Amino acid sequence: MDLCDRNDIQALLARHGFRFAKSLGQNFLIRGDVAEDIAAAGCVSGCGVLEVGPGIGALTVQLARRAEKVVSVELDKRLPPVLAETLAGYDNFSLIEGDVMKLDLAAVAAERFAGLRPVLCANLPYNITTPFLTACVHAGCFEQLTVLIQKEVAQRICARPGTGDYGAFTLLMQYYTQPELLFTVPNTCFMPPPKVTSAVVRCVTRREPPVQVKSEETFWRTVRAGFALRRKTLVNSLQTGWQLPKERLTEIVIACGLSPTVRGEALGLEEYARLADALAEEA
């Protein structure tokens, strides 16, 4: 059976009485070469892969061919019987049934991937992309995250300061990882086709943060406040997170070497770090 052949997929799904659920972001890959390219980009030597949403296993099979071990998490209760059939030959594959958002990722990685290099690789359901990637970087247990996601989100992750795509999520991902947009994937590569173009992004976890800050809590509070009012100046936007007079915030911004009329989206990690350290003194 070819897991990327339309006729084979339709026959398999009909046999299992399966219908696609939009609410679960079910857009299955129907291009074997794309699944191979994602698996090749996502695996490192001696890795244990956590995959989210194996679907019928098109990407899972490619991962199982390259990794020491693959653990996939699937929420849809109708899919485990399908996977039992499609992954039958792969002893290094196991399934966790449930919602990946409710898992303790660090505990799963420690338990299932002892002695291996844990990585995350998935064609993510679009509705959990941002909260799930946020959970991954906070868990800090994966060497890299390689994900097929909406192109717009991939661009936000990789954005440079001063661009429309750049935001607090960009800084979060770039603080914890070094992201790279590898390639785009047209909607014709999926069944059913999503409305948008997708892209594969690989985020390699940093060993050390790119900037040193006095308090990470203050740093993220500053970043969130800096982007809260995108059309306003940084000083005005900062007031959403800091109960300081505008005049004092203006003094601090200037003391950090920034223009009093600069916008939050113009600042890079280093500038936010400098600003957060100055604001920490006020707390």
Binding site for ligand SAM (CB under 6 A): 24-29, 52-55, 58-59, 73-76, 99-101, 123, 125, 128
Contact 144, 204 (CB under 8 A): yes
Q: Name the residue with the smallest CB distance to ligand SAM.
A: 53
Going by the DSSP 8-state scheme, the letter that residue 11 receives in this structure is H
Nearest to 167 by CA among 87, 283, 85, 263: 263
With H, G, I as helix, E, B as strand and everything else as coil, classify residue 242: coil
By beta-carbon proximity to ligand SAM, the closer residue of 76 and 251 is: 76
By beta-carbon proximity to ligand SAM, the closer residue of 29 and 71 is: 29
Residues 119, 44: Cα–Cα separation, whole Å: 8
Burial of residue 124 (number of CB atoms within 10 Å: 0-12, 13-18, 19+): buried
By beta-carbon proximity to ligand SAM, the closer residue of 70 and 235 is: 70
In 16-102, which ranges are continuous DSSP H helix? 32-42, 58-66, 80-86
* Distance of closest approach, residue 16 Cβ to ligand SAM, in angstroms: 13
* Distance of closest approach, residue 86 Cβ to ligand SAM, in angstroms: 11
Residues 236, 230: Cα–Cα separation, whole Å: 10
In the numeric block, which tokens belong to residue 41? Answer: 């980009």
By beta-carbon proximity to ligand SAM, the closer residue of 135 and 244 is: 135
By beta-carbon proximity to ligand SAM, the closer residue of 73 and 258 is: 73
By beta-carbon proximity to ligand SAM, the closer residue of 31 and 224 is: 31
* Distance of closest approach, residue 159 Cβ to ligand SAM, in angstroms: 23
* Distance of closest approach, residue 282 Cβ to ligand SAM, in angstroms: 40
* Distance of closest approach, residue 100 Cβ to ligand SAM, in angstroms: 4
In the numeric block, which tokens belong to residue 40? Answer: 């090749």
* Distance of closest approach, residue 140 Cβ to ligand SAM, in angstroms: 20
Contact 51, 71 (CB under 8 A): yes
Nearest to 278 by CA among 235, 227, 231, 240: 235
* Distance of closest approach, residue 218 Cβ to ligand SAM, in angstroms: 32
Residues 146, 70: Cα–Cα separation, whole Å: 14
Residues 263, 64: Cα–Cα separation, whole Å: 47
By beta-carbon proximity to ligand SAM, the closer residue of 74 and 277 is: 74
